[in-house]
Amino acid sequence: MLGITDLSTYLAGLALIILLPGPNSLYVVSVAARRGPRTAYRAAGGVLCGDAVLMALSAGGVASLLQASPALFAVVKFAGAGYLTWLAVGMLRGARKLWRQGPGSARAAAERSGDGAGGAATGAVERPYRRALVVSLLNPKAILFFISFFVQFVDPEYAHPALSFLALGLWAELFSITYLSLLIFGGTYLAALFRRRKRLTAGLSAGAGAAFLGFAAKLSLSSAAG
């Protein structure tokens, strides 16, 4: 169908891959807990658009270019690692402020934890859509993954491979929005449950910041062939 081979295996692998935690899903959960579902869906939109761009670039051969040019790959990966580090520092600074404040200020401080610059993170300042989009695009490993994974399920003899990539990409986006929706409403529920527990909220924010630092370190140490 549309030049796709072994669709059931593709869907099973896709589900497992999407369930793996990463900076995109972690950021969406953070926004859901701090700003609620409506703002979190703006972040989810950034993730979906970023993934769509990466899939299109992968289908167009950008992944091969990154593999063939170590210098270009290094520039992109260190830019991505730097951006993740910037976000992590903001989360850690916000967690520190939250830990020092009283219970009545827990929610306001939690909101500040999401601002990459460490200041007040209003919806207008944080721009969750743009931030999630940038996190997605500054990830050369994702481009390499998309091309290496997708190509296994495209029939090389099919006359219109672009349709094959499009169909595979639509499945990926459908799985992603379903998973992100579960994270959004789960994050909102947890936020309502623990909002008054400032130290727990600070610990979660610090944990998210530490995870982003881990993502940054992993990306900076990665190679195009990895």
To the nearest 10 degrees (0 to 180), the angle between helices 23-35 and 128-137 is 170
Res. 223 pLDDT band, cuts 50 70 90 = low
Tell me what pLDDT residue 210 has. Answer: 81
How far is it, in rounded angstroms, from Cα 108 to Cα 175?
A: 33
Tell me the per-residue pLDDT of 99-151, one tens digit each, with 9 for 90 and over. 776 554 444 444 444 444 333 344 446 789 999 998 888 776 677 667 667 76
Average pLDDT over residues 209-221: 74
How far is it, in rounded angstroms, from Cα 162 to Cα 82?
A: 33
Per the CB < 8 A criterion, the answer to whether 171 and 14 are in contact is yes
Tell me what pLDDT residue 194 has. Answer: 58
Tell me what pLDDT residue 118 has. Answer: 39
Tell me what pLDDT residue 120 has. Answer: 37
Tell me what pLDDT residue 224 has. Answer: 54
Average pLDDT over residues 68-90: 76
Tell me what pLDDT residue 193 has. Answer: 62
How far is it, in rounded angstroms, from Cα 129 to Cα 26?
A: 14
Asked if residue 66 has pLDDT above 70, the reply is: no
Query: Two tokens at 191?
Result: 């936020």
Per the CB < 8 A criterion, the answer to whether 203 and 45 are in contact is no
Average pLDDT over residues 185-208: 70
44-48, 86-90, 132-136: the lowest-pLDDT one? 86-90
